Amino acid sequence: MNRWADQHSTCGELRRTSERNAHSVMTYSLLAARAVIGAAALAIIALAGLHILKSEIDPRRNMISQYALGRHGWVMALCFAAFAAASACLFAALIAHVLSLLSWIGLVFLLAAAVGLAMAARFPMDPVSTPPGQWSYTGKMHGVAFLIGVPCQILAVLLLSLALRNQTSYASLPLLVLTAVIWLSLVIMIAIMLIVGPGKSTNPNGPERFLGFPNRLFMVAYGVWLMVVAWPMAR
């Protein structure tokens, strides 16, 4: 009788411990998911505000990194830092819920994207007129940040969207639509860069006059994707 009572007590304690652990995980994911939404919203608001604060920069022709130069450059650093924080928080929110290898690979790319975005915040680009041989250390590191951040962003978005799309809580959310927008905007941006090419003279009527649009669409769509993925966990 005593043995049965002891076993029953042990099972009850294990069940309560399991429930407490599950509650802790849910609370942790909830807070991290809400941080994702807040940070991503801040990043998008900061980017929108720069179009007013630095209205002399033509958004059609120039990439968003140019906002980091000169007055109010700290706002662009804040924007990149907020994107980095949102990416890192989404990693933290999802890590307790991943089940497949695809999800784990996507999370690794997401964390690497956060590193690249944080580097972009810390190291602003050089002016576009700077010859390659005269690039500063900061300008070179911004290039490294681009090479790390952008590929990892698109791969994280693709892999995690494919992994999450069949889950009930994500079935009605436009993950694949946002993924398509992000990839398409990057393809357009790369196509324009290839057409223009390094060392070519600027053509006021050339395709480079549209370079800023896909660049902005890429970052805004990425911010919205972060919030959409975090939303089911943040409610």
Q: How many domains would you assign to the chain?
A: 1
> For residues 89 and 67, what is the distance between their CA atoms, to the nearest angstrom?
25
Query: Quick one: average pLDDT of 42-64?
Result: 94
168 C-beta neighbours (distance < 10 Å), count: 7
pLDDT tens-place string over residues 124-179: 998 888 888 889 999 999 999 999 999 999 999 999 999 998 888 888 889 999 99
Q: What is the pLDDT of residue 128?
A: 82
Upper half-sphere CA count for residue 60 (Cβ side, 13 Å): 7
Residue 113 lies in a domain: yes
Handedness of CA 120, 121, 126, 129 (dihedral sign): positive
Residue 138 lies in a domain: yes
Residue 184 lies in a domain: yes
Q: What is the pLDDT of residue 4?
A: 45
Share of the chain above pLDDT 70, in %: 85
Residue 64 lies in a domain: yes
Quick one: residue 57, left, alpha or beta (phi over 0 = left, psi -120 to 50 = alpha)?
A: beta
Residue 171 lies in a domain: yes
Q: What is the pLDDT of residue 163?
A: 92
Residue 109 lies in a domain: yes
222 is in which domain, residue-wise? 42-234
- Of the pLDDT bands very low, low, confident and very high (cuts 50, 70, 90), residue 114 is very high
Q: Which residue has the higher pLDDT, 225 or 204?
A: 225
Residue 55 lies in a domain: yes
- Of the pLDDT bands very low, low, confident and very high (cuts 50, 70, 90), residue 198 is low
Residue 173 lies in a domain: yes
Give the type of residue at 166. N
CA distances from 219 to 83, 161, 162 (A): 9, 17, 20
Q: Is the pLDDT of residue 17 over 50?
A: no
pLDDT, mean over the chain: 87
Q: What is the pLDDT of residue 5?
A: 46
Q: What is the pLDDT of residue 204?
A: 66
What is the CA 232 to chain-centroid distance, rounded? 18
- Of the pLDDT bands very low, low, confident and very high (cuts 50, 70, 90), residue 19 is very low
Stretch among 3-7, 46-50, 185-189, 208-212 having the lowest mean pLDDT: 3-7
> For residues 229 and 224, what is the distance between their CA atoms, to the nearest angstrom?
9
221 C-beta neighbours (distance < 10 Å), count: 21
Q: Which residue has the higher pLDDT, 200 or 218?
A: 218
Q: Is the pLDDT of residue 39 over 60?
A: yes
Q: What is the pLDDT of residue 178?
A: 97
Is there a contact between 107 and 94 (Cβ–Cβ < 8 Å)? yes
Beta strands in 26-147 (DSSP E): none
